Amino acid sequence: MKIVRQAKQPGFTLLEVLLGMSIMSVMMLLLFASLRICVQNWNAGEKKIAQVSQAAIIQNFLQSKLHATVPLDGAFLEEAQFSFQGSQDQIQFVAAMPASAGRLGLQLFKMNLQPSGRGEQGSYLQVEIQPFFPQGEGEEQGVEKPVIILRKIQRLQFAYFGSENAAKNSDSSWQNDWLEKESLPKLVSIDIELVNGEVWPQLVVALKVDTAFGEMGKPDPSFGIVNGVFVNID
């Protein structure tokens, strides 16, 4: 009687299977940790980009409007005064809006810091815009509700560089307010710190307007407020 022996089938022992599963588990754990770190870095990068973009848009808006400030006498305002007035937490000036914003003519900008309501930290910066010159009968006044352009502000401070009086030879210095004067300051600085500890680079704007209110006083048409919403028009 002939006996046929079967060849042994190759395979893994239980120990080898357990060892392989352990190695695979470690590899999966490392892969998951790497993916998690990548996602966290991606989210942090997106957040930082959003913060930088917000800062750039708002600072460009402030710079373009302040740079185009026009020195005018507001004798016909509710309180007769020079068009430019400023303190540490609010500022008023006259500048032009781009044609694409649908608000022709010079506009009176009023920016001020307001405390946030319940449940929200810090303060917010709002802008109110209205035509500077009186409107004729039958014309729309064009006064819009204040628009909030920045929230969660821990500290915001305006400062003004100029002379104490109109004398040409008087020394210029930084001042905390610019009230009841008949001229524009040479520079306006804006310092902003948010409640999350983020400190924006100091913005210093030179107020330059030529005699014809052109070229130097020409506002940047990229930023404005359209239909009560702060937007990047481009």
Report CA-CA distances (Å) from 9 to 3, 12, 129.
18, 10, 87
Distance CA 7, CA 5 (A): 6
Whether residue 70 lies inside any domain: the answer is yes
- Residue 79 domain boundaries: 52-232
Return the pLDDT at 228. 44
Whether residue 171 lies inside any domain: the answer is yes
Number of domains in the chain: 1
Average of per-residue pLDDT values in the chain? 79
Return the pLDDT at 160. 95
As a whole number, mean pLDDT of residues 97-115 equals: 82
Take residue 31 and report the two structure tokens written for it: 């892969």
Please, what sign has the CA dihedral across residues 78, 79, 84, 85?
Answer: negative
Averaging pLDDT over each range in 42-46, 160-164, 219-223, which range is the top one? 160-164
Whether residue 31 lies inside any domain: the answer is no
Indicate if the pLDDT at residue 166 is higher than 80: no
Whether residue 181 lies inside any domain: the answer is yes
Q: Quote the longest CA-to-CA distance of the chain.
A: 130
- Please count the helices (runs of H) and the strands (runs of E) in the chain: 1, 12
Return the pLDDT at 220. 46
Query: How many residues in total does the chain contain?
Result: 234
Q: Taking the complete model, does pTM exceed 0.85, yes or no?
A: no
Instruction: Give strand pairing partners of 156.
Output: 192
Quickly tell me which residue has 């400190």 as its tokens. 199
The least confident of 46-55, 77-86, 199-208 is: 46-55
